[in-house]
């Protein structure tokens, strides 16, 4: 259930900017309207934030599965799983609305060339001719709170998971438990690592070049790698990969 929602989110936020990017590469028209740019920024913020919350919910799911296996079906009911997913979307919507409403209050009367490959909030703030200090504070505060909150829950979940795994006497049992978490840990590292470099940094040390490079990871690399990362948990997929490389 969580993986299916993760796949939908990856597909959605890649679709928000990838077609427009390809059109700019292949066609002569490399412009985007004001309304389309704001829509792209809004939708992208919704899905990228939702993915962060969803990865956190999946960490809790792994905690219950490993630390409370006998209570798993009782704790992680269909209703609870649905509430976690709906809550993830609600958090993404709230974060996106905050930044989009902030952009609507700005005046854009100067240069109109976006120094980026999609309409993200930081490069749009660089184009505004009105004071953007409040907007930059909102980006830093909201991004920092979301990252700290999600990473704290993920860290606590995996600390508890690790403590349980280390108490497992069987080597095969420990290996199986570690294998259950490997895919999720890889996805978390790539996603949150690149997001932190893009958004959680003081404006004095902000670099557009660094932001564009890190954006490539969570806009292109993460959606592309997630299917491979999680499908490698499937025994049949692993055996097929091994046979092809022999």
CA–CA distance, 10 with 21 (Å, rounded to integer): 16
- Inter-residue contact 203 to 141 (CB < 8 Å): no
CA–CA distance, 57 with 1 (Å, rounded to integer): 11
The pLDDT score that the predictor gives to residue 245 is 67
The answer on pLDDT for 188 being more than 60 is yes
CA–CA distance, 67 with 158 (Å, rounded to integer): 10
The answer on pLDDT for 163 being more than 80 is yes
Instruction: Take residue 240 and report the two structure tokens written for it.
Output: 């097929």
CA–CA distance, 53 with 13 (Å, rounded to integer): 15
- 3-state SS of 31-58 is CCCHHHHHHHHHHHHHHHHHHHHHHHHH
The pLDDT score that the predictor gives to residue 234 is 62
The pLDDT score that the predictor gives to residue 241 is 65
- Inter-residue contact 47 to 17 (CB < 8 Å): no
142 confidence band (pLDDT: 50, 70, 90):
confident
206 confidence band (pLDDT: 50, 70, 90):
low
Q: Which domain holds residue 68?
A: 1-245
The pLDDT score that the predictor gives to residue 82 is 94
The answer on pLDDT for 190 being more than 80 is no
Q: Which of 14-28, 52-66, 160-174, 215-229 has the lowest mean pLDDT?
A: 215-229
For 39, 206, 234, the CA distances from 122, given in Å and listed in that order, are 15, 9, 39
CATH number at residue 177: 1.20.1070.10
Averaged pLDDT of the chain? 80
The answer on pLDDT for 42 being more than 80 is yes
Residue 129: strand, helix, or coil: coil
The pLDDT score that the predictor gives to residue 210 is 64
The pLDDT score that the predictor gives to residue 235 is 66
Contacts of 65-71 with C-beta under 8 Å, sequence gap 24+, read 65/180, 66/161, 66/164, 66/165, 66/177, 66/180, 66/181, 67/160, 67/161, 67/164
The answer on pLDDT for 180 being more than 80 is no
- 3-state SS of 126-137 is HHCCCCCHHHHH
The answer on pLDDT for 204 being more than 60 is no
Nearest to 190 by CA among 156, 218, 227: 218
Residues 6+ apart with CB under 8 A from 62: 157, 158, 161, 180, 181, 184
| Arithmetic mean of pLDDT, 124-141 | 83
For 141, 192, 205, the CA distances from 209, given in Å and listed in that order, are 22, 18, 12
The answer on pLDDT for 101 being more than 90 is no
Q: Count up the domains in the chain and report the number.
A: 1
The pLDDT score that the predictor gives to residue 233 is 62
Task: Give the residue with greater pLDDT, 8 vs 200.
Answer: 8
Q: Which of 23-27, 78-82, 97-101 has the lowest mean pLDDT?
A: 23-27
- Within its chain, how far is the Cα of 29 from the centroid? 30
């Amino acid at each position: 259930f969580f993986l299916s929602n993760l796949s939908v989110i990856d597909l959605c936020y890649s679709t928000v900017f990838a077609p427009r990017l390809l059109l700019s590469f292949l066609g002569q028209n490399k412009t985007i309207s004001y309304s389309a740019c704001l829509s792209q920024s809004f939708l992208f913020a919704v899905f990228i934030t939702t993915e962060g919350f969803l990865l956190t919910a999946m960490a809790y799911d792994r905690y219950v599965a490993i630390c409370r296996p006998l209570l798993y079906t009782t704790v992680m009911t269909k209703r609870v799983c649905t509430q976690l997913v709906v809550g993830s979307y609600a958090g993404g919507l709230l974060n996106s609305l905050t930044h989009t409403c902030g952009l609507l209050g700005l005046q854009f009367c100067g240069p109109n060339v976006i120094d980026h490959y999609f309409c993200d909030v930081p490069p749009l703030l660089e184009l505004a001719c009105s004071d953007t200090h409040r907007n930059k504070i909102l980006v830093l505060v909201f991004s920092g709170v979301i990252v700290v909150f999600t990473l704290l829950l993920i860290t606590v979940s995996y600390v508890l998971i690790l403590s349980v795994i280390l108490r497992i006497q069987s080597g095969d049992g420990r290996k199986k438990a570690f294998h259950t978490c490997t895919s999720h840990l890889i996805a978390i590292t790539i996603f949150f690592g690149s997001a932190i470099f893009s958004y959680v940094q003081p404006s004095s040390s902000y670099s557009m070049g660094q932001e564009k490079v890190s954006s490539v990871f969570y806009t292109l690399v993460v959606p592309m790698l997630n299917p491979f990362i999680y499908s490698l948990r499937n025994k049949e997929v692993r055996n097929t990969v091994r046979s092809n490389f022999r």
